[in-house]
Structure 1
Amino acid sequence: MEKIIIENFGPISYFEAEVKDIMIFIGPQASGKSTIAKLIWFFKSVKNFLIELINNVVKQSELYTPNGLIEEFKMFLDSNLKATFEEISNNRTFQITYYYSEHKSIKIILPKEKRFSENVQKFAFQFTWTQNITTELDKIFIEVVNYKQNFYQSLSDKLRLNSEKQNFLTVLTKHINKFFGNDQAPIFIPAARSLLSFLKLTNLNFDSFNINILDQGFIGMTEIIKPEFQNDLREIIDIIKGNKQLNEHGNNFEEAEIAIEIINKILKGKYKVVDEEERLYFNAQNYVKLKYASSGQQEALWIVLLIFKFILDEENVFTVFEEPEAHLYPEAQNEMVKLMALLANVNQNQIIITTHSPYILSAFNNLLYAHQIGQDKPDEVSQLVNPKLWLDVNRTSAYFIDGDSYESIIDPDLNLIQAEKIDSASRIINETFDQLFDLDN
């Protein structure tokens, strides 16, 4: 069981929760929803930071000791934490603990004497971890040091080592993933997706717009896979089905077909890249350039394409979705929830959603209820909701976040998201209307 405890970090005074497969955070703006999601992403990325550091070290000529690599790792974590939370150097004293299991955890502390430091020292933040992580890091870094000690051997030995390097890194990566309990790729899909795409399209300087590590990662990921969409989604499936070599790796064709049906309802068109130009086709001939598409289409595009890609390729992912409802009509929000649920049910993937939308909560409730009723009436429920979209409440948590406080909004008796939380905004609006109506009569 994974768990996070946050004390005095950003807008969050205190938050403690088990990290479940499906986590939903709703609340006012600037209440801390994204802060929690980013912290979970950071701790999920620790194994990736470790693998990245080892890759960098193996490529360098510099020799290290195991203790030296421990220090390098702490500094690497430090720099990545600051890159994720750029305001952190002036934060108040805080403590964050992440449990990968009951007896395996990492803790980050910002002590009082360092909280006002403009020039962050070598270790601006204190990283500590349980003894089993220390022992494992020692083993890993000893392996790296032993490998590196062969760097200045004869040419024939160096050629042999170079040919073995990829195998060495592959084996070490599998070992690290196993130690941390999963091989999921941590993915962060930020808000303001259309703006980020525009900045990339116009080749503007990211630094002048204060683009953080999460936004840069999102843009880089979309640029890598964009060439694959020179064909529409169904054509991509047909190409893979017809290519024996591509088909050997295993693909979720059934789930990918379901995803296409949902995506078409959200985008109201088919996305293709033609002559490096992004287009949404309404039919075989008519299209609109993506930059002229509706704001809802632009915001939704890379959420749905990435989900399609993850599902088709059977990727193991942990994905954060910030405000997936942005600029979407309620019916499209409902379809977006179905698509995220489909992803969560492939390979037991994990997802986190931050939202302001009661429609998102209602759509999740439908899928939770479908799973619940479907245990006794599977055939009848299947006629209403595809079983591949059903969500198990035991995999799900939902929280109302408000900075100084938080509360679970899963009703323990009904095993559904509490209706009064979904309808709270409508209730306040209706109360005002009723008061005005009373004055008018």
Structure 2
Amino acid sequence: MRHELHLHKIGPINDCRLTLDTFTILTGPQANGKSTVAKAVYFFRSVKQDILSIMMQGGPKAVTGGISSVWHTVLKQRMKDKFLQLFGTSWVMPSDMMMEYQYSSKVSITVSLDDDYNDPSRNYIVIDFSKSIEDYLEALGSHIFTNITPAQKEYEEKKLNELFHDPYESVFIPAGRNLLTLLSTQLNYIFTSLEDSQLRNIDYVTKRYTELILRLKPVFAHGMEGVANRMKGDPTQTKKYERIRPALNILMDQAKEIMKSTYRYVDGEERLYLSDDRYVKINLASSGQQEVVWVFNLLFYYLSEDKKIFLIIEEPESHLYPESQRRISETLSLMVNSGNSVLVTTHSPYVLGTFNYLLMAGQIAETYQKEVKKKLRKRLWLNAENTNACYIRNGGLTNGISDEDNLQLIKNELIDGASTEINDMSDYLLGFLYAEGEAKCPTI
């Protein structure tokens, strides 16, 4: 089941509808709504995690300190808080703002606004659940959630996955990652010293991303190879390791080629090792290394744990040389072919161009596939039937996939638009520099 998102009058978006595929690509100029769409998808797909979090805290009564034991009331309040941290105050939004997410034909959530009777200039958030969700929450009211065992948690996760037609855990990797890495040694202090009201002012996805990093740092005490070696030496994980080993090896190779180093968390420090005895602290590393180090760590972690994720990643190309942009794009395709789902926002023609040749590879006739595999691993090929690309501009969204001669590719104008304009201007100026066949360049 493909999920459907409808946004109306929120942020830069005037009105748009998006079908979420296994691999979804969003491109377009800055400040036109790519992040708004990405955050909206995360808002709705992380509702499962909101429900599970309330369960793990002991249920609604434990969360509210006995004030309320009604599931749908507590969940809606949590979603309202999340909405404000993702999109800002509703008071400045148009009264006809609306967000709707369709998980299936019978499962949906809608967010809208309602005027304050005493002050029509102020809008308040209204959340509506479809009947299937209301029925589920009503049934939870008879359950007691104390001392939940791992088996009980797994059972509840399975039920949530079935209800929302979503087998994935949602993971958002935001833009601006190098700033968080730059503040590596201060993150623990920042998060423990801030009051709740101050924490709520931090962008929701940035906060969740940071919390995830803080939790997983110790996992990489001996780097990715240390994690792989632990799995290899554990008899209970032998079968799993052999199954996922090829993908882990590709990911490690791509990480080494881009970072020219290996990450380790040693003595409370994040380090990038250039050799066994030479390293640089991560806050002193290059901006490109800082941008991608936790992208690779997180992808490696979820691959090694065999956890299926819906990955939302903003601007994977940030601070990277074109060759590295190609490699990280291939890594995202690897994640898709390892059973995950990915939504990526990008401005880069190199990223879009890489996705295009991966789409080409996926549409090569079987007769020639063996030859193509010698040049490009099949684990990196993209399936055109499960790939969707969209262009966001002027408050709307248009299809970014062309289907000429039964070949589905990202439209060339999206990849080459900027370079075409640059080349046209260069040609125009060259006409003056070489007017009448003689160079008009100044003499040096």
Q: Distance in 2 between matches of 1:404 and 1:298?
A: 32
Question: Which residue is equivalent to 1:31?
Answer: 32
1:85 pairs with one of 76, 87, 97: 87
1:276-315 alignment to 2 at 5 Å? 276-315=268-307
SS of residue matched to 2:158: helix
Shift of 1:293: 1.0
CA distance in 1 between counterparts of 2:67 and 2:354 reads 53
Matched, 1:50 2:42: no
Partner of 2:178: 194
Partner of 1:156: none
State the alpha-carbon separation in 1 of the partners of residues 203 and 273 from structure 2. 32
Aligned equivalent of 1:172, options 156, 162, 171:
156
- Contact persistence 2:291–2:319 (CA under 8 A): yes
1:236 partnered with 2:227: yes
What is the CA-CA distance between 1:140 and the residue it aligns to?
A: 2.4
Alpha-carbon deviation of 1:238?
A: 1.6
The normalised TM-score by structure 1 is 0.88
Distance 1:164 1:6 in 2: 37
Listed as ranges, the gaps of 5+ residues in structure 1 are 149-161
In 2: Cα distance, 1:63 partner to 1:172 partner: 23
Post-superposition Cα deviations, 1:332-376, rounded to whole Å, max 9, x if no partner, equal 0000011111111112x1111111111100010111111111544
Query: d(CA) in 2 for partners of 1:293 and 1:359?
Result: 24
1:158 counterpart residue number = none
Structure 2 SS opposite 1:353: strand
SS in 1 for 2:207: helix
**Count of residues in correspondence between the two structures:** 420
Quick check: 1:31–1:401 contact (8 Å CA) kept in 2? yes
| Percent identity between the two aligned chains | 29
**Contact conserved, 2:389 with 2:410, CA < 8 A, in 1?**
yes
Please say which of residues 267-276 and 207-216 is displaced more in the overlay.
207-216
Match of 2:209 among 211, 215, 218: 218
Aligned to 1:104: 107
1:74 and 1:127 in contact (8 A); partners too: yes
Equivalence for 1:260: 252
In the alignment, which of 307, 330, 333 is matched to residue 338 of structure 1?
330
Whether the 8 Å CA contact 2:100–2:109 is kept in 1: the answer is: yes
Give secondary structure in 1 for the equivalent of 2:175.
coil
Mapped contact 1:230–1:273 kept (Cα < 8 A): yes
> What is the RMSD of the two structures over their aligned residues, measured on CA atoms?
2.5
Instruction: Mark the CA change 1:165 to 1:342 in structure 2 (over 3 Å): closer, same or farther.
Output: closer
Compute the displacement of 1:198 (Å).
3.0
Which runs of 5 or more residues in structure 2 are unaligned? 436-444
Say if 2:66 is the partner of 1:75. Answer: no
Q: What pairs with 1:314-333 in structure 2 (closer than 5 Å)?
A: 314-333=306-325
What amino acid maps onto 2:245 in structure 1? F
Does the residue aligned with 1:282 lie in a helix, a strand or coil? strand
| Counterparts of 2:117 and 2:306, CA distance in 1 | 44
Distance 1:117 1:223 in 2: 43
- Worse overlay, 240-249 or 356-365: 240-249
- Please name the residue that 1:392 is paired with: 383
SS at 1:377 equivalent: helix
Q: How far off is 1:81 after superposition? A: 1.2
